[in-house]
Structure 1
Amino acid sequence: MRARKVHVGVCGIGFGHASRVVTVISALKDRGWEVSVSSYGDGFKYLERSGIEVKPLPKVSYGILPEAKVSIKMTIFRNLLLPIRLLEQIACEANYLEGSSLVISDTRASTILAGKLSRKPVLTILNQFNVRVEYPRYPKLIELVEAMAQLVGDIWGLSDKILVTDYPQPYTISKQNLVIPKNLSSKVEFTGPIISKFPQDLPPKEELQRKYGLDPDGGPVILYHATGPSYERRFLTEMILPILERLAGEYQIVATLGGGNPGRPFSGLKIYPWVDEPLELIKLSDVVICRSGQTTLAKSLAFGKPLIMIPIPAHSEQLGNAYSVAENGAGLLLPQDELCYETLRNAVEEVLKGGFRTNAEKYSDLAVSLNPLERVLSAAEELALKD
């Protein structure tokens, strides 16, 4: 019997989309699917490092200022040729998905359009549906960007099924960006975060402590988990490592840099440029410090870990995510322009002493009950039968 084929198009901005899709791809292969994959940018690199054969696509991105702040003007400038780039992506995808009985898009509009033009069923995985812009100085530009974003939402709506990899209410992380139109509600389902392993699936804590050289009788473990697009990831890493070095006498501090380089030795820190299984370090940690991308927050909370969140400045989704988690008492928002030794030290102390851990564990209990990966696989099987 010939293997069923599925094509998976992955958003390449940051690591979050690629990291959750790796889990889906592995599970599909285990069930006998032949899988082709396409991406660009950071996502392409992540998939390659995960041992997945990935096909390249023309790159799209948003604009960033030197201080790692989202720039509306630069975003528009960078994407003046977006219609042409979109057509290029669609042409590539139409070629890549030939022979597939199913198309899966992780947030990729061009993958959806190529799938529908090829008359294939399309399953879309995403964690936001509405794009909000935090840029009060330029209202006309905001209107333009949000109008363009609405077009992307209309394309997502062409999917046969939409799975939102976020927690159901009241624990939805990206709730400000997940206002689903009523006409699409019947095809939208909240699955919870897609992760490869839960704490009980990983080695015991004592074994992991030996692996990473942590003292079972030492102080609390603080994990700095560098995520997000490459420039923003590097910018925050350069800011925070000297601060963490000053905190190393009080805590056991581990940093994983997402493929980056620390630049110089840092006393008292355990620094890993890359970790194949970051969930092991999340399991060991008492507090996770990170950007506030939805996937990173969702995974940390699925392990019951409280957060100190440093959103990319002017990044509306990350700001909304951080506000949502903070409102539920599972983490603290620390603006990048306020980051210093005193503010970070105070934030760590507050998270360790408060009820943040208890609130984070509520997300963990919910994640275990949802079984999101099985829901994705079931939806894929159901749609493939319609082809």
Structure 2
Amino acid sequence: MRLLFVVCGEGLGHASRSTKLAKYLEKFGHKCYFASYGKALNFISKQGFTVFDTYREVILEGESGYFSLSKTVWSSKGVLLSLARSLRDIRRIIIEKKIDVLIADTMYAAVFAAKIQDIPSLFITNQNKFASANDEHSKHWEILSSVVEKYLTLPDNIIIPDFSYPNTVSAYNLDIKREDSSRYKFVGPIMDAKLSDYKIEKKIIFASFGGEPFKIPMYGMLKEIANERPFHQFEVFSTSPGLPAESRNFKTHGYTDDILSYMAQSRVNILHGGLTSIHESLFLGKPIVMIIDPYHPEQWNNGRKIEEIGAGIMLPGDKVTKETLSDAIDEALNMKVPDMSYLFVQEDGRVKTMAAIEDAVRKHNSR
């Protein structure tokens, strides 16, 4: 089959999991193409795939460094035009490359293009219910959840790149109706790593919790904590400018191809609460300190689940101080993370997604 992945370019989490899946599919003789935008374009190209530039559908915006739905809506007021342009681009690629199956990773116009061209489509997401720590019951989240729920009736299958219940990390971000449950496929994390590939150690404090403006001072707090803990080695990863100067036990890094090799050496992972990095930490059996954006509609819910299973501690970004961060690190250092290694074997996201693709093709062809 010839497959087209249409991938959200906000960050690299979407591109990372989609390219891992595509590499797996190509082992079975399938041909994979990509369409995306932003930093993801270069990342996908470096993975060896043909990638087409397409339109950004929504412009995510913030206020004082935090996610802002109102500003995002205002900045995305041309969303209908962007969707139309994206739809046009994706239809052209489907026709030119004779695409058999479309997989959209949180890109919405692509599924409409697949419908028009009458080919099977799948949508990758770990969220159909929206809420944030600071306004859980706001009407705007209810409206957004309702719109997305209706949209998700369009793809042949919806891929949830997470463990099945009751181990679903993103459980609080999902509300699946019984009548729709057969189309929601919990495939497990989409990863291509084996534990045997890594030497699991407890040598460093690993930190990669985003580059939003409100988080830059927190890297300064972390540097102060490092100064007070000469017996701990801090390894910090961020592509944002403004990080503190390095010292003997505080090292900074930009983008790295194999970040898991550093996470495997950690005693604690300080993260931002995104699903991909949480899965990576659980895979390696590392406790997590999550510094979340309290206005972000995903991170808080992921953090709630991680706290419930005893794998980490959540800190709202607008309330973090040097003292609370230091205390959270100490608490995490004494945590024993539940062994979830068996789940990564049982629920291989690549294997189960390929089965979901085959199921979508069968259903589409039987109509």
Structure 2 length as normaliser, TM-score? 0.89
Shift of 1:290: 0.7
Name the structure 2 match of 1:223: 206
- Aligned residue in 2 for 1:321: 302
Equivalent residues in 2 for 1:308-347 (5 A)? 308-347=289-328
One-letter amino acid of the structure 1 residue matched with residue 161 of structure 2: T
Letter in 2 for 1:56: D
Residue 370 (structure 1) aligned to one of 331, 335, 347: 347
- Give the equivalent residue in structure 2 for 1:93: 90
Check conservation: 2:205, 2:266, Cα contact below 8 A. Answer: yes
User: Superposed, which structure 2 residues align to 1:158-307 within 5 Å?
Assistant: 158-200=154-196, 202-205=197-200, 220-227=203-210, 232=212, 235-244=214-223, 246-247=225-226, 249-257=230-238, 259-261=239-241, 263=243, 265-267=245-247, 268-307=249-288
User: Aligned in 2, Cα 1:87/1:379: closer, same or farther, shift over 3 Å?
Assistant: same
Displacement of 1:94 after TM fit?
1.1
- The reply on whether 1:129 has 2:106 as its aligned counterpart is no
Distance in 2 between the 1:375 and 1:91 partners? 31
In 1, Cα distance between equivalents of 2:102 and 2:46: 23
Give the corresponding residue for 2:79. Answer: 82
State the Cα distance separating 1:199 from its structure 2 match: 1.5
Give the Å deviation of 1:346.
1.2
TM-score, normalised via structure 1 length: 0.85
RMSD of the alignment, in Å?
2.4
Count of residue pairs the alignment pairs up: 358
Contact map agreement 1:302 1:365 (CA 8 A) in 2: no
The 1:336/1:330 distance shift into structure 2, 3 A limit, reads: same
- Cα distance in 1 for residues equivalent to 2:306 and 2:343: 15
Change (3 A) 1:278 1:47: same
Residue equivalent to 1:53: 50
Contact persistence 1:36–1:97 (CA under 8 A): no
d(CA) in 2 for partners of 1:325, 1:136: 20
Task: Note the C-alpha offset of 1:241.
Answer: 4.4
Is the aligned partner of 1:38 residue 2:15?
no
1:313-356 CA deviation, whole Å, 9 max, x = no partner? 3112111110111111110011212323222221111111133x
Matched, 1:154 2:137: no
Equivalents in 2 of 1:93, 1:149: separation in Å?
25
2:94, 2:176 → 1: CA distance?
Answer: 28
Structure 2: which 5+ runs fail to align?
A: none
CA–CA distance in 1 between the matches of 2:14 and 2:5?
11
Is this contact kept in 2: 1:11–1:40, CA < 8 A?
A: yes
Contact 2:8 2:106 in 1 (8 A): yes
The structure-2 alpha-carbon separation of the partners of 1:19 and 1:241, relative to structure 1 and needing over 3 Å to count, comes to farther
1:197 and 1:262, CA in 2 relative to 1: closer, same or farther beyond 3 A? Answer: farther
Conserved in 2, the CA contact under 8 Å of 1:173 and 1:325?
yes
Q: Per-residue deviation at 1:265?
A: 2.8
Does the C-alpha gap of structure 1 residues 271 and 136 become closer, same or farther in structure 2, counting only changes over 3 Å? closer
Q: What does the per-residue CA deviation read over 1:78-101, in whole Å, with 9 as the maximum and x for residues that have no partner? A: 121212211111111111222111
Q: Which moved more, 1:11-20 or 1:284-293?
A: 11-20
Quote how far apart the aligned CAs of 1:136 are. Answer: 4.1
| Unmatched segments (≥5 aa) in structure 1 | 206-215
Q: 1:148 to 1:264 in 2, by over 3 A?
A: closer
Report how far residue 52 of structure 1 moved: 3.5
CA offsets 1:106-135 (integer angstroms, 9 cap, x no match): 122211111111111012221112222555
Gap change, CA 1:225 and 1:143, over 3 Å in 2: same
Amino acid at match of 2:295: A
The equivalent of 1:210 in structure 2 is none
Q: In structure 2, do the counterparts of structure 1 residues 124 and 292 end up closer, same or farther at CA, with 3 Å as the change threshold?
A: same
